[in-house]
Amino acid sequence: MTNTPRIAITGASGRMGRTLIGLVAASDQMTLTGAIERPGHDWLGRDVGTAMGGAPLGVTVSDDAANALKNAEAVIDFTAPAATLEFAAVAAQAGIVHVIGTTGMSDDEIDALDEFTDRATIIRAGNMSLGVNLLTQLTKRVAAALDEDYDIEVIEAHHNQKVDAPSGTALMLGEAAAEGRGVKLSEVSDRGRDGITGARKRGDIGFTAIRGGDIIGEHDVMFAALGERIILRHVASDRSVFARGALKAAIWGQGRAPGAYDMLDVLGLSDPA
């Protein structure tokens, strides 16, 4: 491990990829050593800084993940579920930290990551921001304190290009609420309402997804009962809050034993064993 960990970024041309590259390039705490894009992308073979419209950064965009990760100590991955599983195999082979911010992963895809935790330090979270992870803990506590007279609804809003719903953050909040109540989210989740759906089932945890414009990320957890509502809220106004959290995770993971971690571990918010 070096004093300034060497970082590779997947999905270099995407919103998060560009943000991450810019932050790493400007940091004196880490070094950019790899930028990865999908085969056929027009950035391939170009200096990533030039491709982003700025000064050269001395890193060529590649579709060869194994080569791009060869000299890296961490890879930060905000891509798609299938791609993330491929990167997990390469990261495990290289024995490096794999920070995963990819959303939309199924339970089976998340479980498939277990195959690599004996060789790689995997840090995965539905949201990398400090504020959201604090909100998760608050949601769990409030859900534990209130009974089923309080309906729980997770309401999330994102930009119109987001492809998955509910968001990974919304599901993370739903899991926290379910854990607080001592139930399994899969057994109480209410994700679809259209037409004559009947009355809301007592104890269900509902999800509402809004897509529009350039909304970066807004999440409310509503506890609604007769005569009152409690609303916990987080609003992200700058995408860099997620990137900074991911970079914090990449640094935190250096020297950690292989295994599965999340942002609560990184932030020291995990419940004691």
Query: Are 254 and 164 part of one and the same domain?
Result: no
Query: Are 256 and 229 part of one and the same domain?
Result: no
Judged by DSSP in three states, 142 sits in: helix
Burial tier of 136 (Cβ tally within 10 Å: 0-12, 13-18, 19+): buried
Whether residue 18 is contained in a domain is answered as: yes
Annotated active-site residue 162? The verdict is yes
pLDDT digits (tens, 9 = 90+) for 6-65: 999 999 999 999 999 999 999 999 999 999 999 999 999 999 999 999 999 999 999 999
Query: Are 171 and 185 part of one and the same domain?
Result: yes
Query: Are 113 and 248 part of one and the same domain?
Result: yes
Whether residue 58 is contained in a domain is answered as: yes
Query: Are 139 and 247 part of one and the same domain?
Result: no
Q: Are 229 and 222 in contact (CB under 8 A)?
A: yes
Query: Are 110 and 156 part of one and the same domain?
Result: no
Domain count, the chain: 2
Q: What is the rounded average pLDDT of the residues 193-221?
A: 95
Domain of 94, CATH number, reads 3.40.50.720
> What global pTM score does this model have?
0.82
Cα 168 to Cα 151: distance, rounded to the nearest angstrom = 21
- Please say if the pLDDT value at position 262 is more than 70: yes
Query: Are 154 and 59 part of one and the same domain?
Result: no
Whether residue 51 is contained in a domain is answered as: yes
Whether residue 262 is contained in a domain is answered as: yes
Annotated active-site residue 70? The verdict is no
Query: Are 114 and 136 part of one and the same domain?
Result: no
pLDDT band at 183 (very low <50, low <70, confident <90, very high): very high
pLDDT band at 148 (very low <50, low <70, confident <90, very high): very high
As a whole-number percent, the residues of the chain with pLDDT over 70 amount to 98
Domain of 145, CATH number, reads 3.30.360.10
- Please say if the pLDDT value at position 3 is more than 80: no
pLDDT band at 272 (very low <50, low <70, confident <90, very high): low
- Please say if the pLDDT value at position 273 is more than 90: no
Whether residue 193 is contained in a domain is answered as: yes
Give start and end residues of each alpha helix (H) in 52-113.
65-68, 81-94, 107-112
Query: Are 24 and 157 part of one and the same domain?
Result: no
Which residues 6+ apart lie within 8 Å of 92 measured at CB?
A: 98, 115, 116, 119, 120
Cα 32 to Cα 69: distance, rounded to the nearest angstrom = 11
pLDDT digits (tens, 9 = 90+) for 53-65: 999 999 999 999 9
User: CA-based angle 68:71:72, to the nearest 5?
Assistant: 80
- Please say if the pLDDT value at position 177 is more than 80: yes
Q: What's residue 116's pLDDT?
A: 97
Whether residue 217 is contained in a domain is answered as: yes
Query: Are 27 and 111 part of one and the same domain?
Result: yes
Whether residue 215 is contained in a domain is answered as: yes
Which residue in the list 140, 158, 219, 248 is annotated as catalytic?
158
Judged by DSSP in three states, 80 sits in: coil
Q: Mean pLDDT score of the chain, rounded to an integer?
A: 95
Query: Are 116 and 248 part of one and the same domain?
Result: yes
Query: Are 154 and 223 part of one and the same domain?
Result: yes
Residue range(s) defining the domain that contains residue 114: 6-124+239-266
Which residue in the list 41, 70, 159, 162 is annotated as catalytic?
162
Q: What's residue 126's pLDDT?
A: 83
